[in-house]
Structures are given as structure tokens and as C-alpha cells.
Amino acid sequence: MGKIGSPRVCDVTYFPAADRYADMIYRRAGRSGLKLPAISLGLWHNFGDGRPADRQRDIVRRAFDLGVTHFDLANNYGPPPGSAETNFGRILDADFRAHRDEMIISTKAGYTMWDGPYGDWGSRKYLVSSLDQSLARLGLDYVDVFYHHRPDPETPLEETMTALDAIVRSGKALYVGISNYKSAQAAKAAEILRELGTPLLIHQPSYSILNRWIEHDRLLDTLADVGAGCIAFSPLQQGLLTDRYLTGIPDDSRIRTSVFLNESALDDKTLGRLHALNDIAKRRGQTLAQLALVWALRDERMTSLIIGASSVQQLENNVAALGNPALDQSELDEIDATVLEL
């Protein structure tokens, strides 16, 4: 197997599938001219230095063959921070130079990335410096979308949005987005960007059957008003909305190995919901994960969902959700009753 530390993953030439655009669904991001695949590949957990290089490369290749044109990163993805961008950059160099114009590559800055007062949050200094570092790791002149990863309670929003505008004008990003902003914050950010002449393309919140805060916050309404798209992360609730936990907690599961999920997330009430949802999925001829993805895409204002993948099979199974996308009202009602009442 290839080593992450090698300058090239390997020398085999990659030829994408000729029919890669045949089955993928593409949705427009708000009122922009950009369309994204309904399923995007996120590199949050599975592209750090502890993962085999050839497995990473196989996942990216297969994603592209399935019409997944959008690859979502951040400066701190790994571990260690920065390694996901470095590893993805090697795959780009080995396989995708001829296909760069068919790809949407996004990255973010907003969480702690380096020591000192300039390596975190939302100052212009941090955002511009971070993107320069990300481009170097990726081996690119520009990214398609650059996000501010989280609101900064101390830096004026005008400074953060002015930095995003300047980044687009510098040619280092084609579009800008925000992530983890509440509805009111998103509306203000969009207003500032519109006045600067760089529209807000998209917002990236967490969202799933079990995590519905954007509905209570009316975020999709706000984004529709300002003409921005929405792309949700963690639509499978960090793996809870899969069959991984229906019969126990595997030793290699995220609950056992990640700081982002722990056993308290899988109480008896939640486990009961998962089993009930799994019964609905079975009646539809789907897995629990596929049902969760279809549910999260039920509103056309949801541009795309970001999924992770630790194997090609997992990726294929999740993308296959798009083959049976329609949920009728009785199914939606049953899902709501299952989640909201149990």
C-alpha cells in the first residue's frame, strides 16, 4: 500500500468513468450559477495521516466516477491538522490535474490552526494566511469555495466578510460561504457581502433527522431570501444514523475512537429511535443511512449533503440513496412521529 509520506501516491494513470454524470443529481446553490452534486464527499475524518493512502485514493476516484464533483475540506481536517489537504493534494496531483475544471474543491478557516493570536477565529489576518497555507498544501492556485468555519464573537462581522470579499477579488477563491452561523448572523453576513459585491454562495450547517436546529431557526427561509444555498454536514449524525450501532458499539466505531461522539449520544431513547427508523428504511428497501440522506434532501433548498466515507463500499451505498429519493407524506409523518415522540 502507498505511504502518505511519499511525494506521489503511485504512478498508475487514472481514467474517469465515461458515464460519471449519468445518474448523479445536481442542484443549484441558491440563485447562483453553480450546481453541486446532491451528495458531496467530506474529508473531515478519513483523510488524515493515519489512513492508508491507497484507500484514500480509491475513495476519491470512485466518488468522481459516481458524479461526486464536490470535495469538502478545512484547514484543520486530519489528524493532524492540515494533513487532509496535503493528502488530497497528492491525489489531485496524481490523478485529477486534467479534470480540475470538473471539480469543486472547498476549504475553510475558523478553528484553531496554529499557536499565537493569529491562528484562530475570524480576523482578516487569520483568514488570508490560512487560505495561503491551504493552497500550498493542496497544490492549487485557487479553491472554488472558501468558508468562514464559525462565527467569531469578538471580531466585527464586517472585517470577516471584507476578508472573504478580498479573497475572491484576489483570485484565490471563486465563491465564499459560511458555516455554523445562526439565521440572524447569516442574514447579516449576506447583507454585508452583497454590499461589497461578492454574494454569499452557501451556508454549511449541521443537520440530520436527529438534529433539526435549522428548522427551528428558519435557516432555509433566510438563505432563500438572500439567494444562498445550503449544504449540510453530519446528515448521518456522526454515524449514528447507520446500522453500526443497532446491535451494540463496535470497538472501531466513532463513539470509541473520536472526540466528537461519545456513549452518551446513544442512550436508550436514541437507540429506540434508530430501530424504528431502520424499520421504515427496510420497508422502503433502503438502509438506515440511505433513508437519513433522502430525508435530509427532501427540501429542494438543500443544495447538497456532505458525507464521509471510510471505504469505497460505504461511499457507494450512500450515493445509492439517490436511486430512491421520494418520501411520501405518510412516511414523513411517521419519521416525525418516531423522532419527535419516542
Dump pLDDT digits (tens) for 64-84: 999 999 999 999 999 999 999
- For position 340, what pLDDT does the model report? 87
The predicted pLDDT at position 218 comes to: 98
pLDDT at 7: 41
Q: Which domain holds residue 313?
A: 26-247+290-325
**Of the candidates 139, 71, 75, which has an alpha carbon nearest to the alpha carbon of residue 102?**
71
Beta bridge partner(s), residue 302: 230
In a domain, 116, yes or no: yes
Q: Report the pLDDT averaged over residues 270-287.
A: 94
Residues shown for the chain: 342
Domain presence at residue 3: no
Classify 27 as helix, strand or coil: strand
Q: Which of 54, 52, 45, 125 is nearest to 81 (CA)?
A: 45
Averaged pLDDT, 35-59? 96
Q: Across residues 257-282, what is the average pLDDT?
A: 80
Is residue 17 assigned to a domain? no
Average pLDDT over residues 138-147: 98
* Residue 57: pLDDT band with limits 50, 70, 90: very high
Residue reference for cell 483523510: 47
The answer as to whether 210 is a domain residue is yes
- Res. 9 pLDDT band, cuts 50 70 90: very low
Q: Does residue 195 lie in a domain region?
A: yes
Tally of domains in the chain: 1
147-170 pLDDT, tens digit per residue, is: 999 999 999 999 999 999 999 999
Rounded average pLDDT over 204-218: 97
Mean pLDDT of 17-30: 98
Residue 19 included in any domain: no
Residue 257: inside a domain = no
Please give the residue that has the higher pLDDT: either 242 or 244: 242
Residue 15 pLDDT > 80, yes or no?
A: yes
| Mean pLDDT computed over 253-270 | 65
Is residue 36's pLDDT more than 60? yes
187-205 pLDDT, tens digit per residue, is 999 999 999 999 999 999 9
Of residues 200 and 246, the one with the higher pLDDT is 200
98 belongs to a structural domain: yes
What CATH number corresponds to the domain at position 99? Answer: 3.20.20.100
DSSP string, 178-237: EES--HHHHHHHHHHHHHHT--EEEEE-B-BTTB-HHHHTTHHHHHHHHT-EEEEE-TTG
Q: Dig out the grid coordinates for 67 from the structure.
A: 458524479
Average pLDDT over residues 313-340: 94
